[in-house]
Amino acid sequence: MSKTLVQEQEQLSDEAREVMDTVDSAVGKAYKYGFSTDIEMEMAPKGLNEDIIRLISAKKEEPQWMLDWRLEAYKIWQEMEEPDWAKVKYPPIDYQEAYYYAAPKNMKEKPKSLDEVDPELLRTYEKLGIPLKEQEVLAGVAVDAVFDSVSVATTFKSKLEEVGVIFCSMSEAIKNHPDLVKKYLGSVVPQADNFFAALNSAVFTDGSFVYVPKGVRCPMELSTYFRINAQNTGQFERTLIIVEEGSYVSYLEGCTAPMRDEHQLHAAVVELVALDDAEIRYATVQNWYPGDENGKGGIYNFVTKRGACRGKRSKISWTQVETGSAVTWKYPSCILQGDYSVGEFYSVAITNNRQQADTGTKMIHIGKNTSSKIISKGISAGKSDNTYRGLVKILPGAQNARNFTQCDSMLIGDKCGAHTVPYITSKNPTAVIEHEATTSRISENQLFYAMQRGLSEEEALGLIVNGFCKQVLQILPMEFAVEAQKLVSISLEGSVG
């Protein structure tokens, strides 16, 4: 069995060495996770129409109200036009050319424990570095591993059940907790919100559902790993996290994907709801296949993520490390409704070769004395293009709103681009908004200087880039900060010179 994430983490003590190990273990420029599992896939016929939606709903054994909601969304989607305002360029997606449902055949009966899971599947997970068994040892991180469109196993369910935390797949939640789902689904991102949200609402196949009751501090980091496998399968996750008064949850989402020639579409929707004095920390470490050096292949990642700070003194913080996907288009947002609510956004977005990223955040200040903080670090290398697009909107009733934005760009080499598009609209004169932006370049000079002091080229690059990202990486839950650092280094291999 190959060295696991955990073992690697335990050995590492020195920042530079952590980075070095990663580089050593990565095989040249080859994408480490580029393989696919040869398990039989049960796939719905190609294309998208009402019948496919009914098929999906039936396969998942959903109640009628869920099917109705999907069909409603589909009708809305049909009326909409695909948006075109981002700075990214991609060939038009043929929505009828994709498969919208794929599940490993062996998944017909949900396994009751890890022992019942297809060993082939488990081996897949090990390769991905998320062996469920190891995670058991790692101070209690519950894993909801989504294999394509079906949840495989949910561990630690029982521990969470003790405190009343519900952590299960979306499909399960629809069946077992319909009231909660009905109450909150679509309340933060309505079906008609945008083109991809409508598509997702119609064909979402699974995702995570988290509910934390009043006064409970969720005892462990919750995480979900995603993977896209079958050719032409778009992945449409739907995640809903509800945290009631005085409660806390920290959630991590991490993704990897195999090599494929066709572009694969990922249009997820994540809705977060925080009531009075509640706090949600949502972290994403994303590692979708970025396309090869010439931009062929790779994942399209169009995600709508929104957090509603409904309650007073509620807090939602988004942390993301984005290093994959051919085209990334996402704007995790916070709606600061409750008085004294806080929204935060920490991001490291790396593009290399020919990747394109147009990402950022929206902070909408509605209540009084709300505050938001945005720290965005963009790193561009190769011939890539990295755009930060931020919106800070202060509505008229938002007395004493506060915002601090810092967006820093780093360019590696001279063929890449970094753009910053901050929008600030303030309709309340008591608002205090601060914005700082810097652009810097890793120069050959810096690398030569560090190398002349004995560091290898990779060590030098890793040191410099990690110094740049430090502010964001240190926000991540510790275990994942390490993986994030590695991802940062792998994605920048061969970017200088």
Interaction of residue 406 with another protein, rule CB under 8 A: no
Instruction: Please identify, among the stretches 216-224, 243-251, 450-458, 485-493, the one whose residues bind another protein according to the rule CB under 8 A.
Output: 450-458
Shortest distance (Å) from residue 385 CB to another protein: 19
User: Two tokens at 304?
Assistant: 């709508």
Interaction of residue 448 with another protein, rule CB under 8 A: yes
Interaction of residue 437 with another protein, rule CB under 8 A: no
Q: Which is nearer to another protein, 192 or 482 (CB)?
A: 482
Name which of 175, 177, 174 is nearest 166 in CA terms. Answer: 177
Contacts of another protein in 468-487 (CB under 8 A): 468, 470
Instruction: Please identify, among the stretches 11-19, 32-40, 87-95, 281-289, the one whose residues bind another protein according to the rule CB under 8 A.
Output: 11-19
Interaction of residue 24 with another protein, rule CB under 8 A: no
Instruction: Please identify, among the stretches 111-119, 158-166, 452-460, 477-485, the one whose residues bind another protein according to the rule CB under 8 A.
Output: 452-460
82 CB neighbour count, 10 Å cutoff: 12
Q: Contacting another protein (CB under 8 A), which of 83, 396, 397, 467?
A: 467
Q: Assign residue 241 a region: left if phi > 0, alpha if psi is -120 to 50, beta otherwise? A: beta
Q: Which is nearer to another protein, 257 or 412 (CB)?
A: 412
Instruction: Please identify, among the stretches 206-214, 340-348, 464-472, 484-492, the one whose residues bind another protein according to the rule CB under 8 A.
Output: 464-472
Shortest distance (Å) from residue 251 CB to another protein: 28
Please count the CA atoms within 13 angstroms of the CA of 407 that sit on its side-chain side.
22
Interaction of residue 497 with another protein, rule CB under 8 A: yes
Helix, strand and coil percent figures for the chain, each rounded to 5:
30, 35, 40
User: Two tokens at 479?
Assistant: 């275990």
Q: Which is nearer to another protein, 36 or 443 (CB)?
A: 443
Using CA atoms, how far residue 188 sits from 45, 65, 132, 330, 475, in Å, is 32, 19, 32, 16, 25
Instruction: Please identify, among the stretches 1-9, 150-158, 268-276, 443-451, the one whose residues bind another protein according to the rule CB under 8 A.
Output: 443-451
Name which of 259, 256, 263 is nearest 126 in CA terms. Answer: 256
Question: Is 340:369 a contact under the CB 8 Å cutoff?
Answer: yes
Name which of 310, 330, 314 is nearest 280 in CA terms. Answer: 314
Who's near 97: CB < 8 A, 6+ residues apart? 46, 47, 232
Residues at the site binding another protein, with contacts judged by CB under 8 A: 14-16, 440, 443-446, 448-457, 459, 463-464, 466-468, 470, 497
